[in-house]
Amino acid sequence: MKITVESKSDTCAFDCGDKETILYAGLRQGLNLPYECATGTCGTCRARVMSGEVEVRWKEAPGGNKLKSEKGDILMCQTRARSDCVLRVPSQVAASDQPRPARRRGIIRDIRKLTSDVAHFDLHLSEPMDFEAGQFVVVETGDLSGGRAYSMVNFDNTATQVALILKRKPGGGFSDWLFARENGEAHVEVFGPLGRAVFRPEESKNIVCIAGGSGIAGMMSILERAARVDYFSHYKGTVFFGVRTLADAFYLEALARYVAVSHGNLEVTIALSHEAATTPTHPDHPTLKLASGMVLEVAARAMEARYDNVIAYVAGPPIMVDAAIRSLIMGGLPASDIRYDKFS
Amino acid sequence: MVWKRICGADEVAENTVKRFDINGIPILLVNYGAGFRAIPPICPHMEEPLEESGVVVRCVLTCTKHLWAWDLKTLEMRGETEKPLKTYDVKQENGLVLANIEEELTYEFEDADDDDDDFFK
């Protein structure tokens, strides 16, 4: 089926299969259609159907709560075409300069718990994938409807294997499904890479990462990318990793390794929100600092008047991300130097 | 011109915003230090309430939800912002801030009577 998109900048057209959403069809053909979460929660990929038949998969998607469905408004990430369609998209649409996402099959292997509610798993891909540090993939299972977004923890060119982390949520269908498969393997569908909160070495700026819990995933990919080009020989890196207690922190060996090769220019602070930091540094990893308080408060204190030539990455629960963005802007960082990833 | 009194010029501190209701029309008054702007109280991107999501720093209003931003002196769009702010004319007289409010300014997706030609405005 043919999808025609009228945007503020241009009119463009692309093919759409009957088993894919309109958003994914446009993205895999290299268009930069507007989106953030790609999984129905944020509402960024809204469009108006001007003609044609569509089928909305997840009608109660929280990102759709402001849409005017009587006018034909839809979320492109939740909608499949049932005929040729003409859509209007209220933003600029052009060719994307990021790696084109594609659908691949994947096998989840090596699920292992990192803390009581966070697990690491490897995803083996049927076809290699190029991605940028900070991007994510959407994973779907045959057993459960809808996709879940996971940020890549590693960084590799033409990767056939990516590392992801999963936070177990009470009543979270996919996390229960996956936690039940510890030491086993599972077959899934993968769409990606997605996401614009990316780091490229040519940024040539000091970087600040503020992560809440599993939001550290994309930061690990950014640190890996930076370490490979010895980025911290020229620029400073400051990472704030927010967790409830010391026992909830993970990837500490890897973080300490990045600090060790950073020429003294990478500083990692673990912020503990639900217990006091009793020592200034981690008892087992003395190159990692400890602080008490909410991660964004710890970050705001440490970064005061240090926002010059900085690009900031923020990832975590939406409330934390919103508050961190506010604090960065109040601190004087322009919006164009902030990249974020909200999990819902 | 229908100049309406919004408030005293000292009622909205520098680099803050405050919402007012002027004869049923919601107005967000922004004090950006070098002056005031009176705007509809929502972000033209995704209707976020700017009263909560708006931050004013160095004459720039940023909606912290998705980082759309505008220079309040020139009304220039910053970064990836794709829509201009709509504004009511503002003047100050005798310590009061007045705005020219003839009719409510709105963005698409929230105008009950919009037709499809309005979609891109």
Q: What is the pLDDT of residues A287-327, one digit of tens each?
A: 999 999 999 999 999 998 888 899 999 999 989 999 999 99
Strands A289-292 and A266-272: parallel
User: What's A45's DSSP letter?
Assistant: T
State chain A's mean pLDDT as an integer: 92
Q: Kindly state the tokens that stand for A76.
A: 């492109």
Cα within 13 Å of Cα(A342), Cβ side: 24
What lies within 8 Å, CB to CB, of A140 at 6+ separation is A146, A147, A148, A188, A189, A190, A191
Cα within 13 Å of Cα(A266), Cβ side: 26
Q: Give B-chain residues touching A326 at CB under 8 angstroms.
A: 55, 64
Q: What angle do CA A314, A332, A339 make, to 5 degrees?
A: 25
Predicted confidence at residue B110, as pLDDT, reads 37
Pick from B57, B66, B108: which is nearest to A329 by CB?
A: B57
Closest CA to B35 of B3, B62, B75, B86: B75
d(C-alpha A221, C-alpha A132), whole Å: 9
Amino acid letter for position A135: Q
Predicted confidence at residue A54, as pLDDT, reads 96
Three-class DSSP category at A111: strand
Q: Give A-chain residues touching B62 at CB under 8 angstroms.
A: 329, 335
pTM for this model (two decimals):
0.90
The whole-number average pLDDT for the span A211-226 is: 97
Q: Give A-chain residues touching B65 at CB under 8 angstroms.
A: 322
Backbone φ and ψ for B85, nearest 5 degrees, come out as -75, 140
Task: Give whole-number Cα distances, A230 to A216, A233, A252, A265, in Å.
Answer: 20, 6, 20, 11
* pLDDT tens track, chain B, 121 positions: 899 999 999 999 999 999 999 999 999 999 999 999 999 999 999 889 999 999 999 999 999 999 999 999 999 999 889 899 999 999 999 999 999 999 999 987 533 334 444 454 4
Does residue A185 register a pLDDT over 90?
no
Predicted confidence at residue B119, as pLDDT, reads 52
**Does any CB of chain B come closer than 8 Å to the CB of residue A32?**
no
Predicted confidence at residue B114, as pLDDT, reads 44
Predicted confidence at residue B109, as pLDDT, reads 55
CB contact under 8 A, B68 and A326: no
pLDDT tens digit string along A232-248? 999 999 999 999 999 99
**DSSP bridge pairs for A211:** A241, A315
**Does any CB of chain B come closer than 8 Å to the CB of residue A169?**
no
Q: Give A-chain residues touching B120 at CB under 8 angstroms.
A: 8, 88, 90
d(C-alpha A78, C-alpha B10), whole Å: 48
User: What's B118's DSSP letter?
Assistant: G
Task: Select, from the ranges A133-142, A260-269, A332-341, the one with the highest average predicted confidence (pLDDT).
Answer: A260-269
For B:61-120, CB contacts with A below 8 A are 62, 64-69, 78-80, 82, 108-109, 116, 119-120
The whole-number average pLDDT for the span A132-159 is: 88
Amino acid letter for position A120: H
Predicted confidence at residue A1, as pLDDT, reads 95
The whole-number average pLDDT for the span A15-34 is: 95
Does residue A171 register a pLDDT over 80?
no
Strands A266-272 and A237-243: parallel
d(C-alpha B40, C-alpha B42), whole Å: 6
**Does any CB of chain B come closer than 8 Å to the CB of residue A8?**
yes
pLDDT tens digit string along A88-117? 998 888 888 888 999 999 999 888 889 988
The whole-number average pLDDT for the span A162-170 is: 87
The whole-number average pLDDT for the span A74-98 is: 92
Do residues A89 and A79 touch, judged by C-beta distance below 8 A?
A: no
Predicted confidence at residue B78, as pLDDT, reads 93
Cα within 13 Å of Cα(B47), Cβ side: 15
Considering only residues B111 and A167, tell me which one the structure prediction assigns the higher pLDDT.
A167
Does residue A168 register a pLDDT over 60?
yes
CB contact under 8 A, A325 and B64: yes
Residues A164-178 as b/e (b if ≥16 CB within 10 A, e otherwise) read: bbbbbeeeeebbeeb
Q: What is the ipTM of this complex?
A: 0.80
Pick from B55, B78, B108: which is nearest to A326 by CB?
A: B55
Locate all alpha helices (DSSP H) within B1-121, ordered by sequence.
50-53
Does residue A203 register a pLDDT over 50?
yes
Pick from B64, B109, B120: which is nearest to A322 by CB?
A: B64
The whole-number average pLDDT for the span A55-75 is: 89
User: What's B103's DSSP letter?
Assistant: S
Do residues A280 and A289 touch, judged by C-beta distance below 8 A?
A: yes
Closest CA to A165 of A219, A201, A208: A219
Predicted confidence at residue A143, as pLDDT, reads 61
Do residues A328 and A297 touch, judged by C-beta distance below 8 A?
A: no
**Does any CB of chain A come closer than 8 Å to the CB of residue B21?**
no
Strands (E), chain A: 2-6, 11-15, 46-51, 54-56, 73-75, 79-81, 85-88, 102-113, 118-129, 136-140, 148-151, 159-167, 186-194, 206-212, 237-243, 266-272, 289-292, 310-316, 338-342
CB contact under 8 A, A329 and B68: no
What lies within 8 Å, CB to CB, of B86 at 6+ separation is B39, B40, B44, B105, B106, B107
Quickly tell me which residue has 């970050």 as its tokens.
Answer: A299
N residues, chain A: 344
